[in-house]
């Protein structure tokens, strides 16, 4: 078997606050090959913090520890700042949950994509500009020329999210962490974005970590699914075997999925057992 691209063993993220310590991620382990891995779980279960810790983007005062954290054999815990900077935005990209905080408000969208490209590739400005426009087109931006010269506050939430995706994919990364990448998009644009991601995975062999709270979307789009609850992975499944879920939390989620066939009344509720969080 070839070595996995990403190895995560016993990842922990803690926030030491005045009011006590919050354990956001409590011993997450998984490996990622050339595949689409979904991470699902309810709000606050630690999905985003898992993604951010892998990239070294845990916000202060967060503390990250792991037994092993490696990308393509590079130990991410001991790598130099320079190596990490080169990896981030180059071979590894992350689409953050809220594009508002990730786009620079005082730079046009086009300039930001050009900057991202030139930071990692040797390219003339004209080449970078062509690439940026092609990327805006690839994320189905209507009138890419116009969007190119707009500032982030001049575009809608969904356009901002697609601009962000364009910026993250412009360097052709080997691995993309996409944190709720379609949450601000309507169904049709959301499907377009998923199709773009799907193409990158199948044509270029990009590895994808797809974070979402939408179990149905994740199971139809990903190959494998990690289910998180209270900072831990409670279940790992092949997406096609979701019906064989053993953990009561996953089973509860499945029961809560709406169906067209049956009119379920009263609507099912998920009763959380305190022992799941132990």
Ligand X SMILES: Nc1ncnc2c1ncn2[C@@H]1O[C@H](COP(=O)(O)OP(=O)(O)OP(=O)(O)O)[C@@H](O)[C@H]1O
Residues that bind ligand X (CB under 6 A): 15, 22, 24, 41, 43-49, 59, 97, 213
Residues lying near Mg ion in the complex (CB under 5 A) are found at 48, 97
Q: Provide the minimum distance between the beta carbon of 123 and ligand X in the complex, in angstroms, as a whole number.
A: 34
Go through the chain and tell me how many residues it has.
278
Residue 46 interacts, among Mg ion, ligand X, none and using kind-specific CB cut-offs from 5 to 8 Å, with ligand X
Cα separation, 139 vs 75, in Å, equals: 33
Based on CB atoms, which residue is closest to ligand X, 53 or 141? 53
Residue nearest to Mg ion (CB): 48
Based on CB atoms, which residue is closest to Mg ion, 99 or 110? 99
Residue 57 interacts, among ligand X, Mg ion, none and using kind-specific CB cut-offs from 5 to 8 Å, with none
Q: Provide the minimum distance between the beta carbon of 104 and ligand X in the complex, in angstroms, as a whole number.
A: 21
Based on CB atoms, which residue is closest to ligand X, 226 or 242? 226
3-state secondary structure of 231: coil
Based on CB atoms, which residue is closest to ligand X, 96 or 132? 96
Secondary-structure percent of the chain, ordered helix, strand, coil, rounded to 5? 40, 25, 35
Cβ contact 66:11 at 8 Å: yes
Side-chain-side CA neighbours of residue 48 (13 Å): 14
How many C-beta atoms lie closer than 10 Å to residue 207's C-beta? 22
Determine which helix (DSSP H) or strand (DSSP E) holds 104, and give its type and residue range. Answer: none
Q: Provide the minimum distance between the beta carbon of 190 and ligand X in the complex, in angstroms, as a whole number.
A: 17
Span between the terminal Cα atoms of the chain, in Å: 34
Q: Provide the minimum distance between the beta carbon of 76 and ligand X in the complex, in angstroms, as a whole number.
A: 18
**Do strands 207-212 and 224-229 pair parallel, antiparallel, or not at all (unpaired)?**
unpaired
Based on CB atoms, which residue is closest to ligand X, 32 or 114? 32
Residue 85 interacts, among ligand X, Mg ion, none and using kind-specific CB cut-offs from 5 to 8 Å, with none
Residue 182 interacts, among ligand X, Mg ion, none and using kind-specific CB cut-offs from 5 to 8 Å, with none
Closest CA to 183 of 60, 99, 271: 99
Q: Provide the minimum distance between the beta carbon of 12 and ligand X in the complex, in angstroms, as a whole number.
A: 12
């Amino acid at each position: 078997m070839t070595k996995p691209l990403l190895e995560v063993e016993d990842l922990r993220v803690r926030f030491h606050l005045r009011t006590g310590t919050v354990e956001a991620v409590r011993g997450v382990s998984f490996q990622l090959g050339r595949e689409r891995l979904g991470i699902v779980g309810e709000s606050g279960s630690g999905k985003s913090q898992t993604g951010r810790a892998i990239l070294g983007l845990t916000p202060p005062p967060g503390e990250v520890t792991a037994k092993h954290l490696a990308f393509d054999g590079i130990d991410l815990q001991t790598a130099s700042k320079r190596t990490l900077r080169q990896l981030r935005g180059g071979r590894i990209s992350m689409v953050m949950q809220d594009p508002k905080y990730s786009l620079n408000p005082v730079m046009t969208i086009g300039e930001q994509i050009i900057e991202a490209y030139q930071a990692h590739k040797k390219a003339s400005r004209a080449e970078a500009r062509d690439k940026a426009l092609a990327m805006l087109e690839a994320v189905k931006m209507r009138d890419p020329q116009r969007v190119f010269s707009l500032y982030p506050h001049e575009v809608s939430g969904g356009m901002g999210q697609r601009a962000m995706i364009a910026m993250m994919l412009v360097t052709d990364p080997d691995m993309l962490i996409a944190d709720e990448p379609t949450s601000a998009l309507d169904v049709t644009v959301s499907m377009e974005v998923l199709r773009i991601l799907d193409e990158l995975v199948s044509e270029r062999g990009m590895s994808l970590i797809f974070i979402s709270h939408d179990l149905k979307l994740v199971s139809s789009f990903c190959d494998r699914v990690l289910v998180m609850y209270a900072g831990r992975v409670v279940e790992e499944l092949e997406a096609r075997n979701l019906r064989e879920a053993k953990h009561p939390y996953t089973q509860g989620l499945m029961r809560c999925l709406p169906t067209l066939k049956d009119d379920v009344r009263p609507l099912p509720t998920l009763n959380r057992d305190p022992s799941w969080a132990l």
